[in-house]
Amino acid sequence: DAGVIQSPRHEVTEMGQEVTLRCKPISGHDYLFWYRQTMMRGLELLIYFNNNVPIDDSGMPEDRFSAKMPNASFSTLKIQPSEPRDSAVYFCASRDVTTGAHYFGPGTRLTVL
Amino acid sequence: GESVGLHLPTLSVQEGDNSIINCAYSNSASDYFIWYKQESGKGPQFIIDIRSNMDKRQGQRVTVLLNKTVKHLSLQIAATQPGDSAVYFCAENIRDGANNLFFGTGTRLTVIP
């Protein structure tokens, strides 16, 4: 398995623009998580899905953030409009249904100018 | 416990020596623990996990010890190599029906050649 796949790996955009981050979880995993990592706040859980259904989005910072999981193999995290304080590395992770371990993707480094 | 990401403990070891990284977790209801390694520019990588019904688990060059009495977790790396230099996170899964992980602050391990 290729592991969790994220795209793009790097994104540079201007304030006010829409940003869409993409994730393909490991096949067969039952949960998908979106995290954000910054130097100041470390790893923060934004939202997670179970069998494509959003379970807890209490970590989503504002209404500017939204996430979807239209099927078991694809999820998106959208920021509209983006702001400089959204600059961070965004990770997607999926959970092994057998062990409970979470496996992370390589992340998307977002820079909002 | 939850990551705050403000001050990262550091550990420097000589190549070939053994490393011990410690983690205090916050919730006595936690039943599953994972150690992650995060290299610069990469996502957290699963190293080893342990369930609360065990007090020790060994992998290749790594051992995790769990002391539930004092809510303490440690990661031991034998014969530390330069490639082990990274930030190491412990994560706990609280047995409350949710399936997200709470991450520790992380410890930066630097291996001196």
Record: contact A33-B100, CB cut-off 8 A: yes
B11 vs A2, higher pLDDT: B11
Q: How confident is the model at residue B91 (pLDDT cuts 50, 70, 90)?
A: very high
Among A21, A24, A31, A43, most B C-beta atoms within 10 A, so best to mutate, is A43
Contact assignment for B5 to A39 by CB distance below 8 Å: yes
* A78 Cβ contact partners less than 8 Å away, ≥ 6 residues apart: A18, A19, A20, A21, A65, A66, A67, A68
Structure confidence at residue A1 (pLDDT): 66
Q: Is the pLDDT of residue A50 over 60?
A: yes
Q: What distance in Å separates the CA atoms of residue B88 and residue B77, rounded to the nearest whole number?
A: 11
The verdict on A107 touching B (C-beta cutoff 8 Å) is: yes
Q: Compute the count of residue pairs across chains A and B with CB atoms less than 8 Å apart.
A: 60
pLDDT at residue number B66: 96
- Sign of the CA dihedral with B89 first, then B3, A13, and A103 last: positive
Of A31, A45, A101, the CB nearest to B46: A101
Percent of chain A beyond pLDDT 70? 99
In this prediction, residues B70-93 reach a mean pLDDT of 95
Q: Does the CB of B25 have a partner CB in chain A at under 8 Å?
A: no
CA distance A107 to A105: 5
